[in-house]
Amino acid sequence: MKILISSASFGKINRDPLKILEDAGYTPILNPYGRKLEFGEFIELIKDASGLIAGTEKVTAEILEKAPLLKVISRYGVGVDNIDLEAAKKMGIIVKSTPEAPSQAVAELTLALMLDISRRTSEADRNVRNNKWTQLMGRLISGKTLGIIGLGRIGKKLVKLVQPFEMKIYAFEPYPDKDFVLSNNIILVPFHEVLKVSDIISLHLPLSDKTFHMIAKKELSLMKKDAIIINSSRGSLVDENALISALRNRTIGGAAIDTFEQEPYKGDLIGFENVLLTCHMGSAAQETRKLMEIETVNNLLDALKEVDI
């Protein structure tokens, strides 16, 4: 029985997950293109697969309809907004994900973005490489006010990482862990209040109908003129056109973005010096990827046992 691995990066740094599948009697079918699959390619590869290990590519109802043997989708990552969950449910397809494994890596990348854009290190690196020796005046993050939108696994990890910087932490979280909030001196406030008081705002919520474009023109207008917004969560949390307008009008101080509505990203944010852009690399740490791949495979095999394939 075949397991399609549509994620192009899966198994690149560690072959153990593939061996686990093989030892369990399955044949892994790797993405042969080294990129996100196009519709026709996806259809051809998935047509006789019993399981799917999916990355960030769209898994639509049209694709699922072409996979009559498919019983389980194991998402190689946290979010499942790229999968048509309603269609999967109707077809009796189990969907799993790996919410815990990437948390530390995403939190560490968020801190890296925070430091980079505040001290302008990437900008300085570009200047030096272009024979421009100019010291750039940045800002400290120590003692600043950090606003965290979403205090789940990643948001909590970020709180722990910034403790040496003695930041004042405000947070919006619909379902707060009150013990964690109290023990870490976090000030819980409404969503718009976080935007008003924070020097740095970091987004850590899943994408849903409620969170789609939750940062738009009105929300950006509430931020401090020198505030920075960081999105290492989901691209669609931020209305990109509104963000571009805010940057042009200097309504906010800057942005650091790791995830985008359209990837690979080629939009207008590339033209701003006060914007730091990375390529959806939150979980791209060797240690994390190894954990994620093993967890993804185990989730898949456990679910296949449930349906008794």
Instruction: Give the number of other Cβ atoms within 10 Å of residue 5's Cβ.
Output: 28
d(CA 240, CA 179): 35
* C-alpha atoms less than 13 angstroms from C-alpha of 132 in its C-beta half-sphere: 9
Cα–Cα nearest to 201, from 176, 184, 218, 226: 226
> Cβ neighbours of residue 175 under 8 Å, at least 6 residues apart?
none
Q: What is the DSSP letter of 71?
A: -
Query: Which segments within 38-144 are labelled E, that is strand?
Result: 49-54, 72-75, 94-96
Q: 308 vs 51, 96, 302, 305, CA distance in Å?
A: 12, 16, 10, 5
Q: What is the DSSP letter of 140?
A: -
> Cβ neighbours of residue 97 under 8 Å, at least 6 residues apart?
74, 75, 77, 78, 79, 80, 299
3-state secondary structure of 183: helix
Residue 290 one-letter amino acid: K
The residues assigned a catalytic role are 234, 263, 280
